[in-house]
């Protein structure tokens, strides 16, 4: 039997060994988490599935000229890979929804039927419309119920979209498949010589990331991902490994970041320049030549790319360059790269007219007419330090006025900022005049840590003191966690009413 000093030494040695083992295990775990935290599909994507083009939604026009669409929210199954059925949600189908299309000045009505097992809403992202028609968290539609908003389209040609907005469950509902495009046309854009044949030279490109575990969607958040859900593959219009055959020299892509948290930096595999012609709220004043475009969740960009006969070119998403630190970039998915969509040009291409030098005059406010300045500070803990409360109105604005909003990301992680009902002008971005791609109408803006944007916005819709609109981070898990506030548009001198806690 060992004498007491020997026993002590043995205990100490054992304890040391245990500590060393623990440290090794923890560092291996951290290293593994680090190494496995970036994904890339560049160079390994097979591009063997033809790109699905969401169908244009049917509609009927009644005697008064109102155009009526129907959207049924349903649960179903989708085969992203042949022979593997995944449970998904969709509008009028099993995944995503049809493209709604209407002209400026038209009266539209949408019959939204909820056939899901839980309450949801449908919000028209980017649309200028009365608050009661907005489809935010106060316009919940119960299972089995129908909600029929209607409004008059009163904004320029643009690429908008629709998706659910139930408070606390938006990330889940969008990730399961509930999203679609809403295109607006107007005379000014139709007269321009731009590619505009839907699905042929004018292509909806809804980009989402996903992860499959067996047959199921895996929506879990990995360790350290305080950005929310990040998938390990991308799809376009619900198509994994998509290719699209093109027959025209110029192809217009309507890019929508329909992901819940991922930020994309779109570029072509040969770094070819392309023209950006539109942002969230419509066409720019003139095309901007760029070789990459960054889109955070909810943002859109319309781009026109030239292809050569017989070639194949790949739209990619490159690493994020947003000034995040090493660790922050990795866990925000910023080191990830994706092959997104292959364009296959026909051997003989139809000639396309050259892009016009100028597009449309902008109708967003200049900022000089602003009567109120406000400041918004973003952190994951809330906007201006408070979490969303459906029964609290955070901001009351007066109909017919312009305001300047300064939005600061004072957090260590990326956020963005989306405002319902309006399209704003970016007066300054990160302390400088906005770059060309931020000069048009916007409703969502990306804000890396320690950046700020100054926005000019005009509230010219109808006042409704009883119904608020939302502003929020469009990283949907952040929104669900309470990075959202409410604003109400009132007539001069009027007070906003306190909304009921529940939106039913």
User: Which residues contact ligand C2O by CB under 6 A?
Assistant: 123, 125, 163, 165, 298, 418, 420, 470, 472, 474
Q: Say which entry of ligand C2O, Cu ion, none residue 472 contacts (CB below 5 to 8 A, set by partner kind).
A: ligand C2O
470: helix, strand or coil:
strand
Q: Which two tokens stand for residue 66?
A: 């109102």
Residue 4: what are its φ and ψ, rounded to 5°? -50, -45
420/442 with CB nearer ligand C2O: 420
User: Computed over its alpha carbons, how large is the radius of gyration of the chain?
Assistant: 24
Cβ neighbour number for residue 249 with a 10 Å cutoff: 19
Q: Is 420 in the site for Cu ion (CB under 5 A)?
A: yes
Rounded least distance, CB 163 to ligand C2O, Å = 6
Q: Is 314 in the site for Cu ion (CB under 5 A)?
A: no
Rounded least distance, CB 417 to Cu ion, Å = 9
Rounded least distance, CB 312 to Cu ion, Å = 36
Rounded least distance, CB 288 to ligand C2O, Å = 24
Q: Is 415 in the site for Cu ion (CB under 5 A)?
A: yes
Site string for Cu ion, 447-476 (x = CB under 5 A): --------------------------x-x-
Q: Is 324 in the site for Cu ion (CB under 5 A)?
A: no
CA distance 484 to 164: 15
Task: Kindly list the distances between the CA atom of residue 358 and the CA atoms of 193, 284, 304, 402, 467, in Å, as whole numbers in the listed order.
Answer: 11, 8, 14, 27, 39
234/296 with CB nearer ligand C2O: 296
Largest Cα span, the chain: 103
Q: Which two tokens stand for residue 229?
A: 């859900």
Rounded least distance, CB 299 to ligand C2O, Å = 10
What is the DSSP-derived secondary structure letter of residue 26? H
CA distance 487 to 463: 11
194/475 with CB nearer Cu ion: 475
Q: Is 138 in the site for Cu ion (CB under 5 A)?
A: no
Site string for Cu ion, 118-137 (x = CB under 5 A): -------x------------
388/453 with CB nearer ligand C2O: 388
232: helix, strand or coil:
coil
Sequence-distant (≥ 6) Cβ neighbours of residue 195 within 8 angstroms: 201, 202, 248, 250, 251, 252, 304, 352
Q: Which residue has the tokens 């329909």?
A: 258
Q: Which residue has the tokens 């469009």?
A: 474
What is the DSSP-derived secondary structure letter of residue 497? P
CA distance 446 to 297: 8
Rounded least distance, CB 82 to ligand C2O, Å = 32
Rounded least distance, CB 129 to Cu ion, Å = 11
Site string for Cu ion, 73-112 (x = CB under 5 A): ----------------------------------------
Q: Say which entry of Cu ion, ligand C2O, none residue 298 contacts (CB below 5 to 8 A, set by partner kind).
A: ligand C2O
430/491 with CB nearer Cu ion: 430
Rounded least distance, CB 61 to ligand C2O, Å = 27
Q: Is 478 in the site for Cu ion (CB under 5 A)?
A: yes
With 0-12 / 13-18 / 19 or more C-beta atoms within 10 angstroms meaning exposed / middle / buried, residue 33 is middle
198/417 with CB nearer Cu ion: 417
Task: Kindly list the distances between the CA atom of residue 387 and the CA atoms of 94, 138, 375, 485, in Å, as whole numbers in the listed order.
Answer: 34, 16, 16, 8
252/415 with CB nearer Cu ion: 415
248/480 with CB nearer ligand C2O: 480
Q: Say which entry of ligand C2O, Cu ion, none residue 478 contacts (CB below 5 to 8 A, set by partner kind).
A: Cu ion
Q: Say which entry of ligand C2O, Cu ion, none residue 475 contacts (CB below 5 to 8 A, set by partner kind).
A: Cu ion
458/478 with CB nearer ligand C2O: 478
CA distance 12 to 51: 64
Q: Say which entry of Cu ion, ligand C2O, none residue 425 contacts (CB below 5 to 8 A, set by partner kind).
A: none
**Strand pairing report for 312-317 and 338-350:** antiparallel
Q: Say which entry of Cu ion, ligand C2O, none residue 244 contacts (CB below 5 to 8 A, set by partner kind).
A: none
47/477 with CB nearer ligand C2O: 477
Residues 51 and 344 sit within 8 Å (Cβ to Cβ): no
**Strand pairing report for 158-163 and 372-379:** unpaired
Q: Which residues bind Cu ion (CB under 5 A)?
A: 125, 415, 420, 473, 475, 478
């Amino acid at each position: 039997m060992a004498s007491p000093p020997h026993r002590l030494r043995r205990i100490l040695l054992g304890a040391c060994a245990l500590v060393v083992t623990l440290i090794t295990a923890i560092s291996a775990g951290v290293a593994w988490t680090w190494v496995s935290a970036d994904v890339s599909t560049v160079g390994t994507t097979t591009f063997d599935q033809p790109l699905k083009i969401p169908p244009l939604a049917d509609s009927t026009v009644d005697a008064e000229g109102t155009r009526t669409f129907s959207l049924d929210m349903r649960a179903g199954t989708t085969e992203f890979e042949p022979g593997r059925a995944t449970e998904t949600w969709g509008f009028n189908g099993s995944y995503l929804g049809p493209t709604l299309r209407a002209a400026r000045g038209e009266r539209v009505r949408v019959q939204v039927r909820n056939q899901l097992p839980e309450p949801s809403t449908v919000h028209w992202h980017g649309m200028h419309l009365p608050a009661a028609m907005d489809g935010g968290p106060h316009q919940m539609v119960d299972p089995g119920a129908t909600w029929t908003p209607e409004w008059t389209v009163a904004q320029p040609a643009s690429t908008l979209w629709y998706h659910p907005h139930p408070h606390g469950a938006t990330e889940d509902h969008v990730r399961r498949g509930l999203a679609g495009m809403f295109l607006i046309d107007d005379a000014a854009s139709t007269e321009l010589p731009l590619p505009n044949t839907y699905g042929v030279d004018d292509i909806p490109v809804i980009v989402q990331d996903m992860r499959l575990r067996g047959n199921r969607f895996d929506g879990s958040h990995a360790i350290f991902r305080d950005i929310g859900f990040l998938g390990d593959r991308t799809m376009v219009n619900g198509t994994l490994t998509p290719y699209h055959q093109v027959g025209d020299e110029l192809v217009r892509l309507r890019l929508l970041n329909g992901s819940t948290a991922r930020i994309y930096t779109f570029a072509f595999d040969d770094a070819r320049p392309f023209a950006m012609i539109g942002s969230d709220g419509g066409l720019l004043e003139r095309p901007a030549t760029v070789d990459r475009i960054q889109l955070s969740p909810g943002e859109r960009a319309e781009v026109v790319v030239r292809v050569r006969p017989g070639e194949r070119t790949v739209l990619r998403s490159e690493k994020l360059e947003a000034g995040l630190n090493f660790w922050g970039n990795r866990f925000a998915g910023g080191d990830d790269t994706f092959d997104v969509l292959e364009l296959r040009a026909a051997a003989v291409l139809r000639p396309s007219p050259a892009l016009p030098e100028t597009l449309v005059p902008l109708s967003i406010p200049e900022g000089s007419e602003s009567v109120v300045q406000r400041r918004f500070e973003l952190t994951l803990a809330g906007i201006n330090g408070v979490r969303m409360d459906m029964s609290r109105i955070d901001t009351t604005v007066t109909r017919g006025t312009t305001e300047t909003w300064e939005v600061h990301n004072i957090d260590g992680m990326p956020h963005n900022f989306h405002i319902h009902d309006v399209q704003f002008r970016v007066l300054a971005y990160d302390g400088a005049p906005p770059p060309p791609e931020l000069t048009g109408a916007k409703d969502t803006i990306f804000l890396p840590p320690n950046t700020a944007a100054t926005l000019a916005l005009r509230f010219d819709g109808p006042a409704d003191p009883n119904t608020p609109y939302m502003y929020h981070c469009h990283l949907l898990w952040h929104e669900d966690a309470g990075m959202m506030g409410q604003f109400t548009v009132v007539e001069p001198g009027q007070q906003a009413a306190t909304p009921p806690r529940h939106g039913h």
